[in-house]
Structure 1
Amino acid sequence: MRGRPHGTSRASKDAGPAKVNTHWVILAIVILALGVALTVQGYMTHLAGIGDDSVASNDSTSAVPGTISRGGPVVDARGGAVRTVGPPNRTLALTFDDGPDPVWTPKILDVLQKHHVHATFFVVGSAAIDHPGLVRRIIADGNEIGVHTLTHTDLSTAPNWRRQLEVQGAQSAIIGITGQAASLLRPPYSSGNSAVNNGTWQDMQAVAGQGYLTVLSTVDSEDWRRPGITAIERNIAPHSSQGQVILMHDGGGNREQSVAALDSALSSFAVQGYHVTTVGSAVGIQSMRPATTAEKISGTAFVWGIRLSSFMVTAITWALLAAGIVTFLRAVLVVGFAARHRRAARRARLAGSGRRRANVPVRDAVTEPATVIVPAYNESAGIEAAIRSIAASNHPVEIIVVDDGSTDGTADVVEAVGLPGVRLLRKENGGKPSALNAGLEAASHQLVVMVDGDTVFEPDTVRSLIQPFADPRVGAISGNTKVANRRGMLGAWQHIEYVVGFNLDRRLFDVAECMPTVPGAIGAFRRDALVAVGGVSDDTLAEDTDLTMALCRDGWRVVYQEDARAWTEAPESLGALWKQRYRWCYGTLQAMWKHRGAMVQGGQAGKLGRRGLSYLLVFQVLLPLFAPVVDVFAIYGLVFLDPFRIGALWLAFLLVQCLMAAYAFRLDNEPLRPLWTLPLQQFVYRQLMYLVVIQSVVTALAGVHLRWHRMERYGSLRVPAGHSSPNSTTAT
């Protein structure tokens, strides 16, 4: 986004310095909230998962009391005392782990209803939040619920903070969904009493301190292995009248065999006279209680917080996918249009060359002189280089330097140079648009070239720039702006942006006939067209964009002339770059809003509106606004997803950028050496640019008026020898 004013504007008189700081606090809060949501979702989804319940541990059992290892499957270690109990004879406590599952839990509940029996479901909190209706159905059908942790984490290997989170998180999920609190807990990957080791016993003591009874099992169906229906029936078949706690699964995988085996086994249990029931009923305890009001509020907030984080991650994922597709399509579109633009320019050059070789007059050549207007405000560091380079043009030019109330002796420098054909106009400070309009009034020729005071031309620049005026439909022409001070990392990044971002886009805009900006550094205009739109307006900070859009809406074509090169100074510090881009971006937003009516117009205005403005809105406003989310999500992917896959995606994206950049550099006949800095550009420069867009959008929405900011000059202007024509002179 470009607009390069200087001096003092009317806006600066209307408003004092304005600081907009609140939006940075809001942005930080949004990013923090997003980070929390991603962290929660990453923890819930990717740090653990429901898997096989196999138990394989060689840990010592030296600290496990004999009461546990030889006791009943229901363990009460609350208050320091250890008590165990099991179901009475001919009573089977039927339990299911790892659910609820949207496919298998309903089938198992149907089987239980069919046989008029109840069971205990040890639910995983994350699965319960995903399928709250199933949890409520479990309760409504007369079954009971127990805690099986939040994400099916092995508590024996988890640190204390995570163990508490897993247990309390699952309880909060149950309360938030059912309004009831559970007192039974089964640790994932647990088994019978004899398998309790020191780590498991430590976990049992810890959860007992939170008020939970630990439920182990005496009969393991091993249905998680999917050994076959017959094998599962054989595993859960009682071999005595002693009461048992049967372990089965309603989640964690395909439970088709479990459903079939359960149906058959329940019929067999009824024939044999076994009573099948819940754990609580089997041992005579009330395993669930109504939650307190505070617990309900906390549980509901927890559940909705998890759901919100899930929704946010899903929405961001789809948005990232859409943004990735749009970005890739843009790369294809820009490169395709650039190739088309290059072919058209080549055909034009070949046609002109052929006519000259055949001694046929080139009727389309534009030879009339041009007026070059140089608005200058405190440009003493570079104004001499600028006017000397223009005066060395191989095309007849009139140079008008408009000193806009400079206080650094700019006008004296111009007078001291004493070049023929250079006119100096002195005026009070009124801003760049005022200076340009003053130069326009004094212009002697119909073709007008506008150039900033921090810019130098090559000898062939003016002649090349004005050639498209051979087409009477053309009202303005954009030249090719080059970064002169491109040394150092920041200079290289801006050089890449000018070549890849600005110039590729200009080729696309040219072919699509929707050029939104003729840069202040180098642009040519028909004087009559400028007068028809009222000259240069000071309504925005991007007077060049505003003017270009006004010309398009007036029916003129605006084109890009890549052979007309101008060399300009770029900011050499991040602070200066921020000020420059903030001004450009804010001014472009102003111009877009001012000319929004082009969206519904026809002809050239409609092309600007529906093509140019839409392109700017999507790629220079909306996508940059979304960019912080991309960065946060990338960190999320590296932490919670597959870092190799994320790295591969980033490399693929970088490869596309590098290929596009290499093509753009080839079009501009630039050496590829600076492209080694392109990967590093993603970690500093890119963030600065999207923060500029955020600042500009917030400022625009807040209705804050900005002052004109003038960029610091460094006196580094010169035409690099490799790009000069043989008879050019270096301007210093």
Structure 2
Amino acid sequence: MKGREPRGHWFLLLLGGLTLFAALLLNGFAEGAVGESPADPGGETGTGRGPKAPGVPAAATSGGPVLDLNPGQEPRSVRPANKTIALTFDDGPDPRWTPRLLETLRKHGAQATFFVVGARVAEHPGIVRRMAAEGHELGNHTYTHVDMGEAPAWRVRLELDLTQRALAGVAGVKTALVRMPYSSTPASLTGPQWEAARRAGERGYLVALTDRDTKDWVGAVSDTIVERAAPSRGRPGAGAVVMMHDSGGDREATLAAVDRLLTGLSAKGYRFTTLSRAVGLPPATAEATGAERAVGTVLVSAQRASGWIVGALGVLFGVAAILTVARLALLLGFARTHVRRVRRAGGPRGPGGRRRRHWHDLGHPTPPLSIIVPAYNEEAGIEATVRSLLDTGYPAPFEVIVVDDGSTDRTAAIVDGLRLPGVRLITKPNGGKPSALNAGVAAARAEVVVLVDGDTVFQRDTLWHLAGPFADPAVGAVSGNTKVANRGGVLGRWQHLEYVIGFNLDRRMFDVLQCMPTIPGAIGAFRRQVLAAVGGVSDDTLAEDTDLTMAICRAGWRVVYEENALAWTEAPASLRQLWRQRYRWCYGTLQAMWKHRRSPFQRGRPGRFGRRCLSYLTVFQVVLPLFAPAVDLFTVYGLVFLDPLRLVGLWLAFTVLQAMAGAYALRLDGEPVRTLWVLPLQQVVYRQLMYLVVIQSLVTAVLGARLRWHSISRAGTFASRDGSRLPT
């Protein structure tokens, strides 16, 4: 297949990844708003979060709770008028406590000032709009409740500006009031807090502190909160700014205290109003400009969208984990069932210790075979392939047909020069692997044909095991067990694990469920009548082996897996070659799934095949890999912003489960388990590559592009036939 492959999708994928990363980053930044906690020092006792600085002016530390720190003038402070209380609430809005607090204030006809956290404003815009509509005053409490005295100047500016944008986007207002998180009374100002307050004053803010810090965030009961908020006995009738909180924990005591204060002090002639009115200043909030509202709307929408994305990714993470564990359980369960069924079938044992009924068990002679080897530029390993096919103990006659599909190297010359009995060479113009296979089938003399890739080497008894299942007349094709030969490096070991844990465990399950989707091109056997019935090997897809296998299953024939029929194949030796191979496989599989998409609606065996096979492939080879990069990105997000220990624990548990499944699969295949040491790194690197392959294949399919054939360079793994280069 020739044609252009899409290129712009990589830009779109990168853009989507960056957008998702930005959304996660924004949500992680916003989720830094945690509010007060009992571990936070400070308060009206004067023990702040840092050392006192001698440079803090006395006018600031001994004056009123509202500071005007405009540059070019001495610090000025103001106090509330007599019998005037400004109730102020920090850290909100909170969807549970703030509406109840607003109801209490409305019941008493009182107004208050809310120093809101910008991130919470974006999350709960309706509550903020209600505050403004009911006449309450809004103040800036930074975007994430950052300690302004400890944060760098650029971070403080960003926090204050983002909160202003959030207020503009939600309520259409901006505010001149700011309260520094972790601040309290003027006497408790630290040196860093003073510098932060001064910088805020330079930006036009009035800095609000408090006369009475109720410390309701430490879990105080309502009696204690009321006592701390009540007028001082030494200053009867004096006004006050009272600090409380409407978020950051259980505020039931705060609500009860507010109701008692409003009831008791109102009866004594006190009025409750906003901070600005209490100190005799113009309203602190003003209408935002159209541009400020537009920017604020974008910010609020982006944060809310990021919250939804994180929530969706959290659900997706859970679903992916459940599906992955369920898949492992299914594979292991069906693998065990497969082993038991083969053992119950009787017959002689193969090298792996398993049994399957063979021709001579039923008193019939072993059938002749025609072995077809399609070859295109296979000079590196074609001789080893042909010689391994002849070096066999197969008791019946067989022939080897090498179909040279227009090779531009010495493939044909090497085969012709072997002059081996029983080997035929067919040369033809290049037409692709399906045409080469069909040419070989047309020239075959036997009723059972074996299809072998030109980079594959058989074990001596492979043909014997491969032909055995055809003793069952319902069997139309047999899949062998493909092994990675060049597994010396990390990449080779990764592919070895994938073949054993992934492909071969899958085939055991498909054998039990009778819904085999793919007989690998490296090793497969077919009845000629079956190939003729399905129209031969089709070139409609790039995964001709998958397309052919699905067609055979839909025709009502059984396709079985023979784990003892071993074939050693040369896997890609570089990431580029691996990408090209898997890209072709994945794209071809998608084509085959689409071609056979109506099979689930058929009756009988074809329908069962479609419902079982296509459903499984759709979930675990398309949907799950498609969303897996986002899940992995969420995992990284969780390590930074959520509970890293929990996520690390989940990852370790998942890796242990994978290792246990891998150990069982390796044992079934007679392989040493020491290779599992590369499994953790495979989960981090190799798996991501496979996910990207699926994404690119899907994009290619959606855009309707026709993917060209990707040939794989051979490294000559089987150049030596003494067996020393094969794993043991």
TM-score class, shorter-chain normalisation, is: over 0.9
Alignment equivalent of 2:331, drawn from 325, 331, 334: 334
In structure 2, the partner of 1:5 is none
Q: Are 2:121 and 1:128 aligned?
A: yes
2:184 aligns with one of 177, 185, 191: 191
Select the residue among 275, 282, 289 that pairs with 2:278: 282
Change over 3 Å in CA distance of 1:202–1:557 after alignment to 2:
same
Equivalent residue for 1:223, pick from 216, 219, 223: 216
Q: Which has the higher contact order (CA 8 A, sep 6+)?
A: 1
Q: Distance in 2 between matches of 1:87 and 1:256?
A: 27
Residues in 1 aligned to 2:413 and 2:360: alpha-carbon distance in whole angstroms: 44
Match of 2:84 in 1: 91
Q: Corresponding residue for 1:309?
A: 306
Instruction: Report the more deviating stretch, 208-217 or 701-710.
Output: 701-710
Matched, 1:322 2:319: yes
Bigger CA drift: 437-446 or 261-270?
A: 261-270
- Residue of structure 2 aligned with 1:236, choices 226, 229, 236: 229
Q: Separation in 1 of the partners of 2:254 and 2:159?
A: 27
Q: Is the 8 A contact 1:458 1:719 kept in 2?
A: no
Match of 2:256 in 1: 260
Mapped contact 1:371–1:448 kept (Cα < 8 A): yes
Q: Which amino acid letter does the alignment assign opposite residue 302 of structure 2?
A: G
Contact 2:381 2:717 in 1 (8 A): yes
Aligned partners of 1:425, 1:213: CA distance in 2, in Å? 91
For the structure 1 residues 365 and 687, does the alpha-carbon distance in structure 2 shift closer, same or farther, using more than 3 Å as the test? farther
Separation of aligned partners in 2, 1:283 and 1:627 = 57
C-alpha contact 1:366 1:469 (8 A) present in aligned 2? no
Overall identity of the aligned pairs, in %: 54
| Match in the other structure for 2:9 | 23
Indicate if the aligned counterparts of 1:174 and 1:180 stay in contact, CA closer than 8 A. Answer: yes
Q: How does 1:428-439 map to 2 (within 5 A)?
A: 428-439=429-440
Alpha carbons 1:457, 1:719 under 8 Å: kept: no
The DSSP-based 3-state class of the residue aligned with 2:362 is coil
Q: Is the 8 A contact 1:184 1:213 kept in 2?
A: yes
Contact 2:392 2:459 in 1 (8 A): yes
**Is the CA contact 1:366–1:470 (under 8 Å) kept in the aligned structure 2?**
no
Q: Corresponding residue for 1:608?
A: 609
Partners in 2 of 1:341 and 1:67 — Cα distance? 85
The superposition leaves residues 133-187 of structure 1 with CA deviations (integer Å, 9 ceiling, x where unpaired) of 2212222222111111112221111112221122122222222111111111111
Cα offset, 1:545, TM superposition: 0.8
Is 228-237 or 147-156 further displaced after alignment?
Answer: 228-237
Cα distance, 1:225 vs structure 2: 2.8
Change (3 A) 1:227 1:366: farther
Pairwise CA distance, 1:449: 0.6
Offset from partner CA, 1:572-626 (integer Å, 9 cap, x none): 1111111111111111111111111112112222122211112112111222221
| 1:161 pairs with 2:154 | yes
Counterparts of 1:527 and 1:722, CA distance in 2:
36
Pair 529,143 (structure 1): closer, same or farther in 2 beyond 3 Å? same
Give the equivalent residue in structure 2 for 1:678: 679
Within 5 A, what are the aligned runs for 1:440-479? Answer: 440-479=441-480
Deviation string, structure 1 residues 689-715 (Cα, Å, up to 9, x no partner): 111111111111121122222211222
Q: Match of 1:664? A: 665
Distance across 2 between alignment mates of 1:720 and 1:319: 51
Shift of 1:723: 12
SS at match of 1:248: strand
Partner Cα distance (2:429, 2:125) in 1: 73
Residue in structure 2 matched with residue 530 of structure 1 by the alignment: 531
The secondary structure found in structure 1 opposite 2:684 is: coil
Q: Distance in 2 between matches of 1:512 and 1:442?
A: 34
Contact residue 456 and residue 719 of structure 1 kept, 8 A: no
Q: Deviations over 1:99-155 (max 9, x none)?
A: 222222222222222222211111122222222222122222221111111122211
Q: Which letter does structure 1 place at the counterpart of 2:57? A: P
Q: Distance in 2 between matches of 1:711 and 1:148?
A: 61
Answer yes or no: is 1:295 the counterpart of 2:292. yes
Q: Secondary structure at the match of 1:707?
A: coil
Q: 1:365 to 1:631 in 2, by over 3 A?
A: farther
Aligned partner of 1:688 in structure 2 is 689
Contact preservation (8 Å) 1:89, 1:242? yes
Maintained 8 Å contact 1:402/1:424: yes
Whole-angstrom distance in 2 between the partners of 1:366 and 1:612:
34
CA distance in 2, matches of 1:188, 1:46: 13
Alignment check: 8 A CA contact 2:484 2:568 kept:
yes
Aligned to 1:142, the other structure's residue is in SS state: coil
Q: Distance in 2 between matches of 1:97 and 1:376?
A: 75
Seen in structure 2, the aligned counterparts of structure 1 residues 29 and 352 have a Cα distance that, compared at 3 Å, is closer
Other structure's SS at 2:401 match: strand
CA deviations over 1:354-379 (Å, ceiling 9, x no partner)? 9x9xxx97217661111111111222
Q: Which moved more, 1:461-470 or 1:253-262?
A: 253-262
Instruction: Name the aligned partner's letter for residue 77 of structure 1.
Output: L
SS of equivalent residue, structure 1 residue 375? strand
Q: Separation in 2 of the partners of 1:46 and 1:146? A: 19
Distance 1:584 1:361, change over 3 A: closer
Contact 1:393 1:458 in 2 (8 A): yes
CA contact (8 A) 1:365 1:467 kept: no
Q: For residues 419 and 455 of structure 1, do their structure 2 counterparts lie closer, same or farther at Cα, with a shift above 3 Å needed?
A: same
1:112 paired residue number: 105
Q: Is the 8 A contact 1:581 1:692 kept in 2?
A: yes
Pair 1:179-2:172 in alignment: yes
Contact 2:717 2:725 in 1 (8 A): no
Q: In structure 2, what is the Cα distance between the partners aligned to 1:47 and 1:170?
A: 12
Counterparts of 1:383-462 in structure 2 under 5 Å? 383-395=382-394, 396=396, 397-462=398-463
1:77 aligns with 2:69: yes
Deviations 1:649-682 (A, max 9, x none): 2111111111111111000000112221111212
Flag the 1:675–1:273 CA change in 2: closer, same or farther, 3 A: same
Aligned to 1:716: 717
Native 8 Å contact 1:48 1:153 kept in 2? no
Structure 2 counterpart of 1:8: none
| RMSD of aligned residue pairs (Cα, Å) | 2.2
Contact persistence 1:480–1:566 (CA under 8 A) = yes
Report how far residue 325 of structure 1 moved: 0.5
1:60 to 34, 49, 52: 52
Say which is worse superposed, 144-153 or 470-479, in terms of deviation.
144-153
Q: Would the alpha carbon gap of residues 136 and 296 (structure 1) be closer, same or farther in structure 2, given more than 3 Å must change?
A: same
Shift of residue 54, structure 1, vs aligned partner: 4.0
- Which stretch of the first structure deviates more once superposed, 261-270 or 476-485? 261-270
Native 8 Å contact 1:154 1:188 kept in 2: yes
Shift of 1:536: 0.8
C-alpha distance in 1, partners of 2:490/2:365? 40
How far off is 1:41 after superposition?
Answer: 1.1
Whole-angstrom CA distance in 2 between matches of 1:264 and 1:51 = 24
Specify the SS of the correspondent of 1:79: coil
Structure-1 separation of matches of 2:217 and 2:302: 32
Tell me the matched-pair count.
Answer: 708
**Partner SS, residue 702 of structure 2:** helix
Gaps of 5+ in 1: 1-10
Is the CA contact 1:352–1:362 (under 8 Å) kept in the aligned structure 2?
no
Q: Say which SS state the counterpart of residue 257 (structure 1) adopts.
A: helix
Alpha-carbon distance between aligned partners in 2 of 1:629 and 1:176, rounded to the nearest angstrom = 29
- 2:254 and 2:105 mapped to 1: Cα distance? 12
Which amino acid counterpart does residue 155 of structure 2 have in structure 1? R
- How big is the shift at 1:230? 2.2
Q: Deviations over 1:27-51 (max 9, x none)?
A: 1111111111111111211475443
Q: Deviations over 1:33-75 (max 9, x none)?
A: 1111111111211475443464143412311112111211111
- 2-structure distance, mates of 1:458, 1:231: 85
**In 2, are the aligned partners of 1:552 and 1:608 still within 8 Å (CA)?**
yes
- Going from structure 1 to structure 2, the CA distance change for 1:365 and 1:480 (only over 3 Å counts) comes to farther
Q: What's 1:144 paired with?
A: 137
Q: Which residue of 2 aligns with 1:520?
A: 521
